[in-house]
Amino acid sequence: MNTTTEKNKNSKSGKVGNIIVDVILVLAIAFFAVVGYSAFTAQTGESVPNFLGLNMSKVLTNSMEPEFSAGDMIFSRTVKDASKLKVGDVISFWTVINGEKVINTHRIVEVLDGGTFRSFTTKGDANPVNDTLTVHENSVIGKYSFHISGLGTAFDYLQTSQGFLIVIVIPVAVFFLWQLIQFFRALFAYQAEKVKLAYAAEHGIRVPTEDEEGSGKSGSEQKNAVADGDGNPGKDTEKTD
């Protein structure tokens, strides 16, 4: 009885453990897939990586210290109405630096009204002067929300062959290997149960139901428990004259 109960407890614990591992692996694969896509997008330089509605861009210099530093990852929300941007807001935008189109994130120090459009004068908090080029409203990527220190450096590592192998390829391989192991474990357990049932049928052995195994009682013990109940046969009663 104790052995059966312990076996059932171990079985339930094993199932719960498998579910937890599966959930963790699925979430990890989803995260790594997003990270890998974002790293690839950032490498192409044709668009801005986006995660859960947030634009992602890596900080290249220390021009905005102490707000954030080089190597950090900035998250900004897309600006649908540029007229709501004001002096003091930190924005990410496309600009040209040293002849190269890049993403920059600086603070608005002046709003310029061009009649049919708006443009912005920006400046890095750590810079002594304003940026040379003004920012057209169509070049604004988003308004700064928050940043994660060091994540930009991690993205740089993902763009290397070694980083992609360690962070993307290996976790995916581990996930599918784990699923394969689980499949064969379930298959072997099913085959073993079939053999057990066939042997029991051939030798006239009654196999306990799941409820009986869960209670730790055999089939005969279950019958005796019913027979010994109040008002049922199986229990000698005294006759009184």
For 108, the enclosing helix (H) or strand (E) is: strand 100-113
> What distance separates the 2 farthest-apart alpha carbons in the chain?
116
Instruction: Collapse the DSSP code of 203 into the 3-class scheme (helix H, G, I; strand E, B; otherwise coil) and give the result.
Output: coil
Give the SS3 label for residue 74: strand
Q: Is the pTM of this model over 0.75?
A: no
Q: Smallest Cα–Cα separation from 214: which of 54, 7, 76, 16?
A: 7
Cα distances (angstroms) measured from residue 99 to each of 44, 95, 96, 102, 166: 17, 10, 6, 9, 35
Per residue in 168-226, pLDDT (tens digit) is 778 778 878 888 888 888 888 888 888 888 877 877 777 666 565 555 555 555 445 44
- Per residue in 112-165, pLDDT tens? 988 889 999 999 999 999 999 999 999 999 999 999 888 877 777 777 777 777
CATH number for 48-154 (one of 3.40.50.2300, 2.10.109.10, 2.40.37.10, 2.60.40.420): it is 2.10.109.10
What's the rounded Cα separation, in Å, for the pair 21 and 15? 10
Distance CA 81, CA 221 (A): 75
Nearest to 216 by CA among 69, 51, 77, 9: 9
- Are 200 and 209 spatial neighbours (Cβ–Cβ below 8 Å)? no
pLDDT of residue 45: 53
d(CA 179, CA 174): 9
CA–CA distances in Å: residue 152 to residues 50, 68, 222: 14, 11, 65
- Separation CA 57–CA 54 (nearest Å): 10
pLDDT tens for each residue of 8-29: 555 566 566 667 767 776 776 6
